[in-house]
Amino acid sequence: MTAGKSILAFTLFVCLAFSVVAQKTKAQLQKEKQQNLQKIKEVEKILTETTTKKKNSVGELTALKQRIVEQEKLISSIKGEINFLNKEIGENNDFINALEEDLNKLKSEYAAMLFAAQKANNSATRLTFLFSANSFEQLIMRMRYMQQYAEKRKLQAKAITAVQGELSGQIKQIELIKSEKNTLLNEELSENTNLTGLKKKQNVLVKSLEKEERSLKRDLEETKKALVALDKKINDIIKEELERAAHEAKAKPNNATTTASAVLSSSFAENKNKFPWPVKGFISQGFGRQKHPLLKGVYIENTGVNIQTSENEKVRSIFEGEVRELALIQPWGNTVIIRHGEYFTIYSGLKDVYVKRGQKVSIGQEIGQILSNSEGISELRFRIHKNTMALDPQLWLKN
């Protein structure tokens, strides 16, 4: 009886502990899946807008590739839930086995009690047992023993009922988990079918674009020339700004402006990997030397990141600072340069601008609206500089 109670108490404790952890982990997995679904919705919108204006474009290809990435993430999160449920089913099976073992022991002990009670069931036997005592004290002890033995039988019966109830509850629980798992398996199958469809669509698009290789190379050369002009303009503006600031600091050393700039620089650096994204969307081209999404052996140098987004999306400042320059550079539209001490954030590809030179801006403040090109691609070219040195924005933006 003691061993049975110990096993039952231990298994109940283990199950409760796993249940607390399970709830938290399951909530995290479900939250991750909802985030994946939301991201898919955003990318799907971008993809639809891009294909509405022009089908079979590089912009459509990058959006489709990202859509596949998000689909794979969704399937991965569903698999994570299924794996978790498999673990939960295994733990519940172990618990059920332990309960059944306890129940068998309790029943065996109870059967032995009933057999012993049956043997001593008639009044003559009970009286013989009592009055064969050698002393009054032994008589009292035998009476107490008989009373305790009767109570123990009642407790054993209650323990059996309790374990049977717990066992029944665990069996129902495991059936619910199995039902949830089956739902997720069907969901996974459906999403895998969607993924196959997206990959087929991608293959068709790639083959179609490969036929336009000459046109793509011509467009790329024009883009490179425009980027050189954009880079030069931005670098010239930053250099002029730094020269102006250095001249002011030399004329008035240790002034309030210099101190405020140092504080802002420090605050900016401390927020690395915490900055909000300047616009909703996805990275369509990363920092540094990047492969062309279609042309083999062709690379593009990028001093920032390109964020593909939705039409008319609002662009926001990632940190407090001062607008130091506005520039119109075709075909990228407007560029806004904001200074944050020794750091600069540059936002290119704006249709409309909501700020002016010298204006103080706060974190998250709208500074303009995104421009959509003739192919329906809405893309922000975003940079972060420390003085004249370009930094990888993906290392600074929130994950």
- What pTM was estimated for this model as a whole? 0.75
The Cα 199–Cα 68 span in angstroms is: 7
The pLDDT tens digits of the residues spanning 244-274 come to: 888 877 777 666 677 788 889 999 999 999 9
Rounded to an integer, the average pLDDT of 158-163 is 72
> Six-digit token pair at 16?
């409760």
The pLDDT tens digits of the residues spanning 114-127 come to: 555 555 554 445 55
Query: Residues 304, 307, 311, 314: is their CA dihedral positive or negative?
Result: negative
Would the pLDDT of 148 be above 80? Answer: no
| Cβ–Cβ < 8 Å for 232, 102 | no
State the pLDDT confidence band at 358, using cuts at 50, 70 and 90.
very high
- DSSP string of 288-348? EEEE-SSSTT-EEEESSEEEEE-TT-EEE-SS-EEEEEEEE-TTS-EEEEEEETTEEEEEE
Q: How many residues does the chain have?
A: 399
pLDDT, position 110: 59
Q: Which class in CATH covers the domain with range 214-395?
A: mainly beta
pLDDT, position 158: 75
State the pLDDT confidence band at 133, using cuts at 50, 70 and 90.
low
Would the pLDDT of 71 be above 80? Answer: yes
Provide long-range contacts, Cβ within 8 A and 24+ apart, for 152-157: 152/1, 152/113, 153/110, 153/113, 153/114, 153/117, 156/1, 156/106, 156/109, 156/110, 156/113, 157/110
The C-alpha angle with vertex 75 and arms to 70 and 77, in degrees rounded to 5, equals 95
The segment(s) of the chain belonging to CATH 1.10.287 are 2-210
Q: Which candidate, 101, 124, 121, 102, places its Cα nearest to that of 113?
A: 121
Is CATH 1.10.287 the classification given to domain 2-210?
yes
For the chain, percent of residues with pLDDT exceeding 90: 40
Q: Is 157 helix (H, G, I), strand (E, B) or coil?
A: helix
pLDDT, position 29: 85
Would the pLDDT of 22 be above 60? Answer: no
Least confident of 136-140, 171-175, 309-313: 136-140
The Cα 206–Cα 118 span in angstroms is: 86
Rounded to an integer, the average pLDDT of 103-132 is 57
Q: Helix 2-53 vs helix 58-119: angle between axes, to the nearest 10 degrees?
A: 160
The Cα 382–Cα 377 span in angstroms is: 15
The segment(s) of the chain belonging to CATH 2.70.70.10 are 214-395
pLDDT, position 140: 62
Q: Is 213 helix (H, G, I), strand (E, B) or coil?
A: helix
Provide Rg for the chain, Cα atoms.
36
